[in-house]
Structures are given as C-alpha cells and as structure tokens.
Chain A
Amino acid sequence: MQTNITSTASYDLLTLSGEVDLHYSPTLRENILGSLKAGKPLLVDLAQVSYIDSSGIASLVEGFQTAKSAKLGYGLLNVSSPAMQVLTLTRLDKIFALYTSTDQFETALQA
C-alpha cells in the first residue's frame, strides 16, 4: 500500500494505492485519524486500491466514527471495483458517503 496526503484549504485528500491488508491497515488508521485530529474534513481516494481486507475497512469505519463525532466531513472518492465488492459484502456501501469527484465532496461540505 502507498499513501499520499494532499491538503486543500477546506479538506485533506488521502490517496491510497495497492493492497490494504493487515500489515498496512495500522498505517492507514494512523493517517486517517491523524488528519481528522487536525480538525479538517477528509476525503479518502480508493481509485487505485487493488485489494482491501476487513482490517482496512475497519480503519475506514473508525475514521467515519471519528469524523462524525467531531462533526467533520468524511467520504470515499472513486471507490475501485475490488474495494466496492468488500464494501458491499460488509454492507457499508450505504453507510459511507461515496463521491465520484472532489467537486462533489466540496459541494457536500458547503451544504
């Protein structure tokens, strides 16, 4: 798994690529919670994720819970097909806010 965080004025964008498994999910969790702790909304780009297991999903869920408690925007961007299959299997596809563009997320933040 590779991660890249870019900051805009209104949110952080965390881009993931490769395989997110038991080995890498602690890093993912650290990145997500670290970003939210700084008080900025977070958009997680999953377009280049070729595999994600339930430990990775658990990190995304913890991010969702943390963002909700802190009343911060939180969403998933361009979820790849392999990642979407796991979200569907875990019935989380209806819980996360899913976006297909950063513009959509920015609009949601302003609403």
Chain B
Amino acid sequence: MTSPTPSLNITGNAIEVRKLTVDYGARRILSNIDLDIPSGKVSVIMGGSGTGKSTLLRCILGLKLPTSGSIHMLGTDITTATTAQLYQLRKQTGVAFQGGALFSSMSVAENIQLALREHTNLDESTIQIMTRIKLDMVDMLHAEHLMPSELSGGMTKRAALARAIIMDPKLLFFDEPSAGLDPSTSAELDELILLLRDSLKMTIVVVTHELESAFKIADQISIMGKGIILATGTPEEIRASADPEVQGLLHRKPRETVVDTEAHLKALVGETS
C-alpha cells in the first residue's frame, strides 16, 4: 500500500530554487540561480549548449548536489532531505530522459511497469490496465511486447514518457523531448504535454532548445546563459525582453550564416588573424 500523498490542490510554486551555485573544480557552472516553478503549469528552461541547463535539471532531480543554495520541491529542501524524504518525493516525480534510458533486457511494458511494482502493492490486473492506459496515451499500445532494441527513436521517447507518467506524478521532467523527432511526432508530443497538464494537473518542467515547441507549450519560460538565468516570464514577456542575449537566442541564425569563412578557416588551421 502506498502512503497517502499530500492534497493535489497545490497552489503557488511546486519548486523553488534559491541562490543555487554549482562548481566543478575551479569552474563555476551555475551562479546564484533563483527560479520558481509554478504548480500545475508547463515551465520551459531554454538555453544554448554549455549554459548549465542540464546541470540545473540534475540538481533539481537530486542527481547532483549543489555547491551552495537550496531547492525546495513540494515543500522539501532536497539538498538537505533525508533518504526517506527523497524516496517520497521520487514517487511523485517522473522523468523522461533524452535518450529514453529504457532497460534493454525488458519489454516496453515491463519497463513501464517497473515503478508500479517497486513502489505500490497494486493488484496485477490494475497494473496491466494502467500500463495499457499509458501506452495508449502515447500511441504505443501496439508495442507493448517489443524490446527497446526494436523501437525507433520516436517510439523510444514515447515509451520513456509512458514510463515517466505511469505513477501519475505531480512533477514531470522532460529533457529535450523533441530532439531527434520528426515535426509531426514532435507536435504530437507537445499536445500530449498540454493534455497531461490539463487533465492530470501535472507540474511539467521541460528542458529544450527547440524554440517553436517551447513557445507552444510553455506557461513560463526561463532563458539561461552561461550559468545564470537571463530572464523568466510568460512567452509574451520573453518575446518582449530587452535583454540582447535573450533576443539573440530567440533570433539565432544557422551557424553557417554567421561564420566568417576566412576567419573560420584560419582558426581551424591554427592561424591568428
């Protein structure tokens, strides 16, 4: 039997990050980050490579201890939480990793059922029906018995999502949901994220660099730049931001159009201009 969970009528913030700093040796990766993730909303964290968004996600998930600062998740500071408190929080958290992270020796259904078998004493028939409900949500009912090696990239992502939502978590984290997907599958995933927010009242955090997807699903967007948060706001507020780095990210051009070919060639052969 699972323990009763706190009321779902959460108001305010599901996650509060305060003065979060992460150093790797002498390198500062995150510097004094403050971030609120509102309950029942889709919050998107965006930024270019190396800005620290993956490190921030790892800290929020409790996979990386920060150098300093606090992260309150559903009211518990995970930087000082006990193992028992972290266990309770993890039961209320779903994560869909970028690469899927499915167990290769288990079928799709077995992968999805893992958390239910680990954390609940639900009847077998309930587990089977819940599994099929989640597979149907991600349009993977036909793949129940397939092994991860038999799945395409898009199918792997959808199976990972089904696994992430099997416990109907209060908090759902997505690392680059659209990466490597065709536009149609990506759009379907965006729709599903919004349905999960609306029907299951999930608080959803998406880390992505896909602008179109971000502005389609986000209630709140945070833009990161080199270890700090440049701006946080509604999509409209972000579009209207006066910060040149934010505007640079929103209006970034393909690499080849901004590269000075001659200088680039010189740089590759080690010449200085």
User: Interface residues, chain A, CB within 8 Å of chain B?
Assistant: 19, 21-26, 29, 50-51, 53-55, 57-59, 61-62, 82, 85-86, 88-91
Contacts and interface: CB of A to CB of B under 8 A. Distances in A.
Contacts of A53: 168, 200
Interface of B: 1-5, 7-9, 120-123, 125-126, 129-130, 133-134, 136-137, 166-168, 195-196, 198-201
A26 B116 CA distance: 13
A58 B136 contact: no
Given A23-B2, A54-B134, A89 B126 contact: no
Contacts of A85: 198-199
A54 B8 CA distance: 15
A25 B121 CA distance: 11
A55 B119 CA distance: 13
A90 B137 CA distance: 6
7 contacts: A22-B122, A23-B2, A51-B201, A59-B126, A85-B198, A90-B133, A90-B137
Secondary structure at the A interface, as helix, strand, loop or mixed, is helix
Contacts of B167: 22
Given A23-B2, A26-B123, A89-B137, 7 more contacts: A21-B168, A22-B2, A23-B4, A25-B126, A54-B166, A55-B122, A57-B129
A91 B199 CA distance: 12
Contact of B1 (A26, A50, A54): A26
Name, among A19, A23, A58, the residue most crowded by chain B CB atoms within 10 Å (CB to CB). A58
Given A19-B7, A23-B5, A51-B8, A91 B136 contact: yes
Contact of A54 (B120, B121, B125, B130): B130
B199 A54 contact: no
Contacts, number: 70
B125 to A, nearest CB: 6
A53 B125 CA distance: 16
B126 to A, nearest CB: 5
A42 B168 CA distance: 27
B3 A89 contact: no
A85 B168 CA distance: 14
A90 B130 CA distance: 10
Closest 6 pairs (CB-CB, A-B): A53-B168, A58-B129, A85-B199, A89-B199, A58-B126, A58-B130
A26 B200 contact: no
Nearest to A1: B4
A26 B120 CA distance: 10
A90 B136 contact: yes
Contacts of B195: 89
Contacts of A54: 130, 133-134, 166, 168
Nearest to B165: A54
A23 B1 CA distance: 7
A51 B8 CA distance: 8
Contacts of B199: 85-86, 88-89
B186 to A, nearest CB: 20
Nearest to A89: B199
A48 B57 CA distance: 37
A58 B198 contact: no
A30 to B, nearest CB: 9
A26 B122 contact: yes
A53 B8 CA distance: 11
Contacts of B5: 21-23
A101 to B, nearest CB: 25
Name, among B130, B136, B195, the residue most crowded by chain A CB atoms within 10 Å (CB to CB). B130
Contacts of B121: 26
